[in-house]
Amino acid sequence: MSGLAPVPDAEHESVPIGSNDDVVRARQLVRALAQQCKLSLVDQTKLVTAASELARNTLVYGGGGVMRVGLVHRDGRVGVTAVFEDSGPGIPDVDQALTDGWTSGGGLGLGLSGARRLVDDFTLQTEVGGGTQVAITKWAR
C-alpha cells in the first residue's frame, strides 16, 4: 500500500518485520528515537508498547512487513512517527477490529484499540487482500 506516508523520507529508518527478533529490534529503534526527542518516560513507554503491539500484528496477522520510523516536526513540536505496513489479507471490518476484545487470532484483542489509546495520532488504512498500513505518532509535550 502506498497511501499516506507521514514519515519524511530523508529521515526515516526501515526495519523489516519477519520474525520475533525483528519485533524486538523495532521496539529498540522506536525507544531510541523516543529518547532522542525527549518524550517523558511514561510517553516513551506508551509509544514503545504501542509499537510492540503493532509490530506483532504485522508479523502475526499481516504475514510480515516493514516498519518505517522517524522524527516528525509540526507547529514547533517534535514527535516520533512509526508506520507499519504489510501486504497481508487486510482487515474486513475496521470498526470491529478497533473494538476492545475483538481478535482474529488468539490474542486478547487489545492490539489495535489499545495501541490507538497509547498514542496521539493513529491512522489505519486497509484493503481486503491488499494489506494494512497503520501509522502512529506520539508528540513531545
Per CB under 8 A, residues contacting other proteins are 20-21, 23-24, 27-28, 31, 40-42, 44-46, 48-49, 52-53, 56, 100, 107-108, 110-111, 113-114, 117-118
**90, 126 Cβ separation under 8 angstroms:** yes
**140, 38 Cβ separation under 8 angstroms:** yes
- Minimum separation from the CB atom of position 74 to other proteins (A): 16
Calpha distance 62→72 (Å, rounded):
26
Calpha distance 122→60 (Å, rounded):
20
The residue among 21 and 95 lying less far from other proteins, judged by its C-beta, is 21
The residue among 89 and 107 lying less far from other proteins, judged by its C-beta, is 107
Buried b (16+ CB within 10 A) or exposed e, 8-46: eeeebeebebeeeebbebbbebbbebbeebebeeebbeb
The residue among 53 and 86 lying less far from other proteins, judged by its C-beta, is 53
- Minimum separation from the CB atom of position 59 to other proteins (A): 9
The residue among 27 and 68 lying less far from other proteins, judged by its C-beta, is 27
- Minimum separation from the CB atom of position 56 to other proteins (A): 6
- Minimum separation from the CB atom of position 27 to other proteins (A): 7
Calpha distance 62→86 (Å, rounded):
5
